[in-house]
Amino acid sequence: MTTPSQDSRADPAKDGAAWLRRGAIAIVAAAALLVLTFGQGRDQAIYTMVARSVVDGGMPYRDAWDFKPPGIFAIYTLARALFGAAPWGIRVIEALGLVATSFGLVVLARRLWKEATVGHVAAALAALVHAQLDFWHTAQPETFGGMLTVAALVVALRAAPRGPALVAAGALFGLAGLLKPPLAGGGAVLALWLSLRRRRDDPDASPRDLLAPFAWVLLGGVTPFAVTFAVFAARGALADLHQTLFVFTPHYTALGWEGRLFGAMLYQAVSEWLVEHSSAMGLGLLLLLARGPAGWSRPGLPLLLGIVGIQLLGVALQGKFFPYHYAGLWPVTALIAALGWVETARALLARGRMARVGLAALVLAGLLARSATKDVHGTFWRRAARRLRVFTWDRDDQPTIDGLATVADLDAQSNRRVAAALRSLTPEGEPIYVWGFEPALYDLADRPPASRYIYNIPQRVPWSASWARPMLLADLAAHPPAAIVVVDNDALPHVTGDGRTSVDLVDGDDPFVELRQMLQRDYRRAAAIQDFTIFTRTR
């Protein structure tokens, strides 16, 4: 009988890394599966309706109106083309993107620090926060912009990136900018970091060599914008894009600035990023800070912090501070926070049993102290347990499924009831119009919208009502709706600047007179369901 040699014995460090890798894979897989169960919020319904129009030959802004940048509509159009009207189609693309981003974080950790373990922890952190954002704050422009940011860094961060790689990275940052303009700024941060690194490595480098990264990244970055503008021009929709993004949207953004100083807004963005949304991320960042220069001096860290900084600047400039506005930050933040967790874990594991107990307490605090789950009913862990139950063995529990897709004044059960009523009250194929902010009803009822305005914000706000109301009336005259749904209790002061509801603009003191006259003249009240009143055409 032989005795195993020392070399054949298990290496505790390697064994621990293997278990950590398996744990990260499990967390990413669980998060991706949770994403597949997410319902559809209002924003997702808007993007879906624009995609429906594009698949049918229309164009964003001209044929289906929203004021988000065009990149998000391209992604939803892809989902619509591949999976039809199924709301889970976009979730399949989102889940695949989450998995790909997880691989990208591991690649980046290896390239920057030769630390696959850091990448595994980063993947787990990013996936956890992504799942915690739940259905309302996912599948947003920032969601996919963060994924493209990681892809751009993977392409660019090679030993000696050449021109084509930097052009490709710039193009990926440009695509991210088409989802959320500040995300394109990551390309400028990358170019600056590469130029400074070249100057450090070669003090005699020529100005041409130092400027080359800027030229390559800029070339790639402007290409998606140029192609987008060319497509809109060729399809005759460039003026509509301009009217929406450069006339309407600045007024909307200005609402968040009223009575506020930019310094205070930037402070809010930074503080919320650090402590408001994820204790796992925040603790990791603090642990890295506590490591001192040994942690701060890691190569590539200034690049990652610069990308985080430019995105936080964008959050502050927008001035709304919705949880999903930070979604583009989390993958890169996870890479930084993972450094703090891994270095601290190694230090504590080498100090004995009590230090390990302390590490376990830190991990528990990171998991439980603060979650990115906001606005919805219940904690992340309870909602995850409910999803596991109803999407595995209790699929007929419709009340729980509706509850998981309900938030604030969006009631999934009411929407289904209204959609069923519309199907029974209107002929198949006939258009309907929803005077309110509930665009999901069109797909749920399987009826086409009678207007490009799939929700009524442009008609409600003072800076666009003068041109948006006549355009809506022209749409309704050209495509008379078989039914008009008027929504109540849909006040959105952070969007409209006042507390009026859609009903107020029909029956209130300062109404949309022409719409009220149309309802009185051509329609009768057919049904009332919770906050919805359905009017059907009489002539």
On the 0-12 / 13-18 / 19+ scale of CB atoms within 10 A, 321 is middle
Cβ(196)–Cβ(303) below 8 Å: no
Looking up tokens 């006259």 gives 517
Ranges of each domain in the chain: 19-368, 412-537
Strand positions, DSSP E, 90-183: none
Q: How far is 329 from 124, CA to CA, in rounded Å? A: 15
Per-residue confidence in pLDDT tens, the chain, 539 aa: 444 444 445 555 566 678 888 999 999 999 999 999 999 999 999 999 999 999 999 999 999 999 999 999 999 999 999 999 999 999 999 999 999 999 999 999 999 999 999 999 999 999 999 999 999 999 999 999 999 999 999 999 987 778 999 999 999 999 999 999 999 999 999 999 999 999 998 999 999 999 999 999 999 999 999 999 999 999 999 999 999 999 999 999 999 898 899 999 999 999 999 999 999 999 999 999 998 888 788 999 999 999 999 999 999 999 999 999 999 999 999 999 999 999 999 888 888 889 889 989 999 999 999 999 999 999 999 999 999 999 988 888 999 999 999 998 899 999 999 999 999 999 999 999 999 999 999 999 999 999 999 999 999 999 999 999 999 999 999 999 999 999 999 999 989 988 899 999 998 888 999 999 999 999 999 999 999 999 999 97
List CB contacts of 82: < 8 A, sequence separation 6 or more. 89
Quote the pLDDT of residue 142. Answer: 98
Could you give the count of Cα atoms lying within 13 Å of 179 in the half-sphere of its Cβ? 27
CB burial string 154-191: b at 16+ within 10 A, e below = bbbbeeebeeebbbbbbbbbbbbbbbbbbbbbbbbbbb
Classify residue 58 by burial, with Cβ atoms within 10 Å: 0-12, 13-18, 19+. middle
Note the pLDDT of residue 18. 81
Tokens of 530: 């919770």
Specify the pLDDT at position 12. Answer: 56
Q: Please, are residues 532 and 414 in contact by the beta-carbon 8 Å criterion?
A: yes
Residue 13: per-residue pLDDT: 57
CA dihedral 192→193→196→201, nearest 10 degrees, is -150
pTM: 0.94
Q: Which residue bears the tokens 């930019």?
A: 262
